[in-house]
Amino acid sequence: MSNIHEEEKLEKSYDGRLMRRLLGYVKPYKYWMLLSIILLLLITVSDLARPYLIKVAIDDHMNVLNTTFVSASTEELPDEEHYTFKGEVLVRESDFETPPADRLRFQIENTTQDQYVMVVENTTGTETERIPMTDAEVDVFKDTEIDALIGIGMLFLALILGSFVLNYIQTIVLQWTGQRIIFNIRQQLFSHLQKLSLAFFDRNPVGRLVTRVMNDTEALNEMYSNMLVTLFKDVFVLLGIILIMFQTNVKLAMISMACVPFVIIVSQIYRHYARRAFRDTRVKLAQINATLAENISGMRIIQIFRQEKRMHQEFEQTNDAYFKASWQELKTFAVFRPSMELFAQLALAILIWYGGGKVLDNALQIGVLYMFISYTQQFFQPINDLSEKYNILQSAMASSERLFQLLDTDDMIKNPALPKPFENIKGRVEFKNVWFAYTGENWVLRDVSFTIEPGETIAFVGATGAGKSSILNLLSRFYDIQKGEILIDGVNIKDVRKEELRRAISVVLQDVFLFTGTIRDNIRLQEPSITDQRIEDAVRFVNADKLINKLPGKLDEPVLERGATFSAGERQLIAFARALAFDPTILVLDEATANIDTETESLIQDALQKLTQDRTTIVVAHRLSTIQNADKIIVMHKGTIREMGNHQALLAQGGMYYNLYQLQYKEDFEHEAAAALSPAEA
């Protein structure tokens, strides 16, 4: 179970270096992000304005019959509402920043049901007169306030609708931007993977790389599409609430913020324990995924050797460890969020206790108290969401660490700075003193030298691990050699572009890979220069038409993943047609005739003879019967060339090839050997 502890690399909940790289992907969309932030600012203004409007409606318009007025002239406070009573112009006392002390004060008092009097007080606050009010006089005050309340209601509705529209636009803009950023990151990852050498893929399982490109980028999507911009909104909300509160009533604002120091302390404690719990959960999740993947992959062996019980016990232990880690994380979260809710409710309780007393003492307007209660609730909402944002941040940091580690991998076969021309290739191949190792100095090839003339067919034989397939990989420059030279038509393959080198070579493997699509797609491989006629000619030339024409869709027959609906022989014929359609100068066959059913073997042998005509052909084979007509056979042993010659000559030597042939053909060995040895004896 390799790489089981991969998640343990995450040591920081926040890494400034990683965050700077992540923000670098935002630059192409900075104006869209700026638009999203501006929209959020407008949404925040709308959200904060609504409690203030309700406060104005309550204190300035709903409570008009309990409002104190002062006498004034029509020129005073031109932006405020003016009322006329018995020829006296009145304005609210609260409209003055500093109420004048030398004015008469007026207050409407409800004596009985629907009966009102205007109480007049002198400058010392002594009641001097009680003037009965007619219904018309009362309606003057009421109608003015009803008009104002209608205006406030319309403005309130406009703010709600505006906030809805802005939220819709902001969500579309932000999600589109986030998806485009993730699209670019995935494109960069995929492009980078395409450039890496096969040595990299030898070391890294497919599942891990798929996880990088899909799952880890999705974790970043949460950060780009949710956390980053909403952090701005949280800051706007908190700053806006604090500003409005302290502008309105400093003492009440201080009381509302009384619990904030405790919130900060608890948040820091949560941050410490949440980081540890999150890291443990990720490690255990990696372990459970690795255990599950290993068991599913090895299910055949598990069932053959009756290991189900042992594997179940191992999985149960891993699963239990993951459960405990997840439970610890949940307990941490379960303590934090109720704690924040407790502080929020405690702040509200203190606010209602203190503010309510002030309202009863007529020292505070009820609308102001309502506004503070509403803002206090809004103030704690971003803090309550802290745990979710913190988990998103940690997940993004962990994912970005792995993604950038992949992007920073420089395990590439690089093109030369000044490539040499590589055209009109004849197909002469030369290995000169080649040494090669996949890792360190564990040499797979040791001082290998040979030459293949244009149009020759050369075969490599030998035991598993002798280095045969490595030679083929080196020719296509899937790996770079440590010592020596590989030349094609006298040009070192390191001096030509990889694309031009591989254009001259076609490879047919034992395990043919077919892509999802059609047979036609798998032969053409999106190469625009390959016409339909060329595909049909190639199919007919390699005898694949005899099988393809039996299919309902013929060349347009659907191909499932890896060609699962075709036999090994059918896949091989399609691979031959693909190789011919690309018209290579050099043809490489790596065990291409192994595991073929008898029905298609004769078709494949005929196709091989046609394919190898006038082409330099390199064959790796275990079945010696398929290479007897090769111009040259090279016998490999532990990375070195032990024997070289044609079939008859190697049999005559009585060496390693002789022994290999004997093992495969015991019954016919004596007859073949006698025929080979008789000319030598003569």
* Domain 429-645: top CATH class: alpha beta
Domains 6-57+150-407 and 429-645 share a fold: no
Question: Which DSSP symbol is given to 326?
Answer: H
Q: Which residue has the higher pLDDT, 177 or 625?
A: 177
Give residue 599's pLDDT band: very low, low, confident or very high (50, 70, 90): low
Strand, coil or helix: 89: strand
**pLDDT of the residue at 385:** 75
**pLDDT of the residue at 447:** 92
What is the rounded average pLDDT of the residues 645-672? 77
Question: Which DSSP symbol is given to 466?
Answer: S
> 278, 373 in Cβ contact below 8 A?
no
Span of 336-340, 380-384, 412-416, 676-680 with lowest mean pLDDT? 676-680
What is the rounded average pLDDT of the residues 144-150? 82
Does the pLDDT value for residue 380 go beyond 60? Answer: yes
User: For the chain, how big is the Rg over CA atoms in Å?
Assistant: 42
Alpha-carbon dihedral 500, 503, 505, 508, rounded to 10 degrees: 140
Residue type, 481: I
Q: Please, which residues bridge with residue 213 across strands?
A: none
Give residue 252's pLDDT band: very low, low, confident or very high (50, 70, 90): very high
What is the rounded average pLDDT of the residues 553-563? 81
Q: What angle do CA 209, 211, 215 make, to 5 degrees?
A: 145
What is the rounded average pLDDT of the residues 275-281? 77
Give residue 597's pLDDT band: very low, low, confident or very high (50, 70, 90): low
Give the residue among 145, 46, 51 at the shortest CA–CA distance from 370. Answer: 51
DSSP H or E run through 628: none
Strand, coil or helix: 72: coil
CA dihedral over 175, 181, 184, 190, signed as positive or negative: negative
346-to-338, 341, 349, 500 alpha-carbon distances in Å: 12, 8, 5, 73
What is the rounded average pLDDT of the residues 640-667? 85
Q: Which tokens hold the place of 543? A: 């005898």
Give residue 387's pLDDT band: very low, low, confident or very high (50, 70, 90): low
Structural domain boundaries of the chain? 6-57+150-407, 66-135, 429-645, 646-682
Residue type, 458: I
Contacts 24+ apart (CB under 8 A), 518-522: 518/553, 518/555, 518/556, 518/557, 518/558, 518/559, 519/548, 519/551, 519/553, 519/554, 519/555, 519/556, 519/557, 519/559, 519/574, 520/555, 520/556, 521/559, 522/559, 522/563, 522/574, 522/578
Give residue 669's pLDDT band: very low, low, confident or very high (50, 70, 90): very low
Cα 589 to Cα 355: distance, rounded to the nearest angstrom: 88
Q: What angle do CA 540, 546, 550 make, to 5 degrees?
A: 125
The segment with the largest mean pLDDT, out of 10-14, 81-85, 86-90, 656-660, is: 656-660
pLDDT digits (tens, 9 = 90+) for 65-83: 677 888 887 777 777 777 7
**pLDDT of the residue at 163:** 92
Q: Which residue has the higher pLDDT, 390 or 41?
A: 41
**pLDDT of the residue at 666:** 62
**pLDDT of the residue at 594:** 59
Give residue 8's pLDDT band: very low, low, confident or very high (50, 70, 90): very low
Q: Which fold has domain 6-57+150-407?
A: ABC transporter transmembrane region fold (1.20.1560)
Sequence-separated (6 or more) residues with CB below 8 Å from residue 678: none
Burial class of 313 by CB neighbour count within 10 A (0 to 12, 13 to 18, 19+): exposed
Strand, coil or helix: 367: helix
Cα 297 to Cα 306: distance, rounded to the nearest angstrom: 15
Strand, coil or helix: 444: strand
176 φ, ψ (degrees, to nearest 5): -60, -45
pLDDT digits (tens, 9 = 90+) for 420-441: 888 888 989 999 999 999 888 8
Give residue 667's pLDDT band: very low, low, confident or very high (50, 70, 90): very low
